[in-house]
Amino acid sequence: EVVVAEVDGLQLHLSTSSATGYLGVSDMGVQRKKKRFQVTWPRRNSRRPHIGYYATAREAAVAFARNIDTKVPKEEPLEEKEEVDAEQVAVVKRRAGASGSKSSDAERDLDLDTARTMFNIEIEGPSLLEQGETGVVATSISSDAATACAAYLAQHWVDGQVRLSRYIVATGYATYGKTISLHDAEAQRRNTLLITHPMLPHARASIDGFAQIESELVEWLHTKYGTVVELFYAHGLRQGPETSNSTGFDVHQDTEDYDFIEYTVVVKLTADEEGEPPSSMRVVGAHSHFEYGPRAGNAGSFRARIHHASVPPRSTRPHVKIAFFFKRSEKGERRAKRGLATGEGTMTQEELALRRRQITSEMGAASLNAGSHELQSAYGTYVGRIARTVVSEARPRCDVCVGCTFFMERLRAKREGIERPDLQDCCGRCTFCRDNPKFGGKGKAKQICLRRWCVAKIPVQLANEAYKLFGMVLPADNDQGKGKWKKDGDGG
């Protein structure tokens, strides 16, 4: 089914991370035969998260849009906020009263803009309305790192994708419809680059300057906000006068897909020419637009929850930017505060700040190490993912079989020419996939083999090599779901 941005004049909420393409819509698959698409509220927006089930993803997306657009979500502030000055808020409220002569559509847009402004004021405080305030904090990183990153992307970002390793390719997204002008999916695919969380180790190892930029931003965010953060994912963007239909974004929040994202930092990788008008963005309700500095590495940081948008560029030259999305590191905060629980007395704020800096530095080093040769291998990431799945789910049901862990380790040893007599094939006696409802449930006709489910997560080229190495052949399409693997020459 084709993902659409609008149905009968109703704007749908798209998501680049959802398998259905729509925010709040989940495909329940074989667990529900007819109405398989579930609609839920974002958890923070309602005490009744469940809306209902629908036959198609589009019907579910329409139901979500009709429900969520009936009110503006009330989100919890990130920390203690100042009392909003009554006179300044009154200025915002008076905007809504000025729409008496406008059409109903204009009134609705104005009311929505007012609500978004009020929401941003709750997060940033009444100073957002003051003269010269933008709602964005200007910062900068190493110009050399930014220039190196821009040069790498200029060479390797071709047709909407960047190869990070032999089998890992970062691509653009094409379903985010909140653009300044009419959305163009193909243009958006070419002008965006989605670096997901599992891709980060490869991006650090492959993209020049990426790891250094991340490290500097983590340190700066700690200094600015006094908390330990970690990068969750990133977006590469080409923005210019011709991209208003793809990367010129209308009003949105950076928590639409992941509500735990706390800070967004957008880094401009390319420098302005002398006399060139600056690139800019805006925060809804802020007195002024935020303008990026002229040199490569100038950046802007803001709370991910605030409503913000792109500003149509005045320059005729395109620019390359990367938006970094950070979450609070709960593990890092726990490590920093661990001294509070010791019996040697309480920790002062200065000591806590020092420990946070140490933890931030250690986590930055860990991020760089994550791009080591182990994860640069063609299958290192997949081994880790498969191992986590097998150990956490399959292991309790079978004391002998550890699933694809052996399978992938044997492939690694074979490639490196290492003799590993301790590695062996799966014993084949694991019944986890036949007992777990996630894979069709016990007694259901459609059952999915656990090993095939795991291997399906690795690239086709690697899977084919693995099948040949172990004398296995991939079952035909009409055998899919029967949970059977065949050996060459044995009838299964």
pLDDT band at 9 (very low <50, low <70, confident <90, very high): confident
Are 172 and 185 within 8 A, CB to CB?
A: no
Q: State whether residue 443 is helix, strand or coil.
A: coil
Q: Please state, in angstroms and rounded to a whole number, the distance separating the CA atoms of residues 284 and 305.
A: 12
Average pLDDT estimate for 181-205? 93
Q: Where are the domains of the chain?
A: 6-68, 86-129, 137-369, 377-487
Q: Please state, in angstroms and rounded to a whole number, the distance separating the CA atoms of residues 20 and 33.
A: 17
Q: Please state, in angstroms and rounded to a whole number, the distance separating the CA atoms of residues 364 and 368.
A: 7
Of the candidates 310, 12, 318, 61, the one whose C-alpha atom is nearest the C-alpha of residue 181 is: 310
**Cα distances (Å, whole numbers) of residue 343 to 335, 340, 352:** 16, 8, 16
Q: Is the pLDDT of residue 134 over 50?
A: yes
Does domain 137-369 fall under CATH 3.40.50.300? My reply is no
Q: What is the pLDDT of residues 281-292, one digit of tens each?
A: 999 999 999 999
Q: What are the start-end ranges of the H helices in 377-459?
A: 380-389, 404-416, 432-435, 450-455
**Cα distances (Å, whole numbers) of residue 395 to 229, 388, 440:** 33, 10, 19
DSSP string, 369-386: HTTSHHHHSTTHHHHHHH
Question: Which stretch of 105-119, 183-197, 378-392, 406-420 has the lowest confidence by average pLDDT?
Answer: 378-392
CA–centroid distance for 448 within its chain: 28
pLDDT band at 72 (very low <50, low <70, confident <90, very high): very low
Phi-psi region of 209 (alpha: psi -120 to 50; beta: other; left: phi over 0): left
Q: Is the pLDDT of residue 55 over 90?
A: no
Give the sign of the dihedral formed by CA 400, CA 404, CA 407, CA 411.
Answer: negative
Which pLDDT belongs to residue 74?
43
Q: State whether residue 139 is helix, strand or coil.
A: strand
Give the type of residue at 386. I
Give the type of residue at 224. K
Q: What is the pLDDT of residues 414-441, one digit of tens each?
A: 666 776 665 544 444 444 444 444 444 4
Which pLDDT belongs to residue 14?
82
Which pLDDT belongs to residue 23?
80
Which pLDDT belongs to residue 157?
96
Average pLDDT estimate for 355-363? 58
Question: Which stretch of 58-72, 110-124, 222-236 has the lowest confidence by average pLDDT?
Answer: 58-72
Helix, strand, coil percentages, rounded to 5, for the chain: 40, 15, 45
Average pLDDT estimate for 137-153? 96
Which pLDDT belongs to residue 369?
44
Residue 289 phi, psi (nearest 5): -80, 150
Which pLDDT belongs to residue 417?
72
Q: Hey, which of 81-85, 316-320, 356-360, 455-459 has the most confident mean pLDDT? A: 316-320
Are 163 and 199 within 8 A, CB to CB?
A: no
Which pLDDT belongs to residue 477?
37
Give the sign of the dihedral formed by CA 14, CA 386, CA 165, CA 259.
Answer: positive
**133-162 per-residue burial string, b: 16 or more CB within 10 A, e: under 16:** bbbbbebbbbeebbbbbbebbeeebeebbb
Residue 160 or 101, more confident: 160
Which pLDDT belongs to residue 225?
87
Q: What is the pLDDT of residues 364-393, one digit of tens each?
A: 444 444 443 333 343 444 444 443 343 333
Which pLDDT belongs to residue 85?
52
Which pLDDT belongs to residue 423?
53
Which pLDDT belongs to residue 141?
95
Instruction: Tell me which residue has tokens 């957002």.
Output: 128
Average pLDDT estimate for 186-212? 93
Which pLDDT belongs to residue 357?
59
Q: What percent of the chain has pLDDT over 90?
A: 35
Question: Which stretch of 24-28, 236-240, 405-409, 450-454 has the lowest confidence by average pLDDT?
Answer: 450-454
Which pLDDT belongs to residue 187?
94
Per-chain mean pLDDT for the chain:
71
Question: Which stretch of 27-36, 191-200, 243-252, 422-431 has the lowest confidence by average pLDDT?
Answer: 422-431
Which pLDDT belongs to residue 438?
46
> Hey, how many other C-beta atoms are within 10 angstroms of the C-beta on 10?
11
pLDDT band at 333 (very low <50, low <70, confident <90, very high): low
Residue 164 or 380, more confident: 164
pLDDT band at 361 (very low <50, low <70, confident <90, very high): low
pLDDT band at 335 (very low <50, low <70, confident <90, very high): low
Which pLDDT belongs to residue 60?
85
**428-439 per-residue burial string, b: 16 or more CB within 10 A, e: under 16:** eebebbbebeeb
Average pLDDT estimate for 321-345? 69
List strands edge to edge, sheet with 137-140: 137-140, 298-303, 261-268, 319-328, 229-239, 192-195
Has this prediction a pTM greater than 0.75? no
Which pLDDT belongs to residue 313?
92
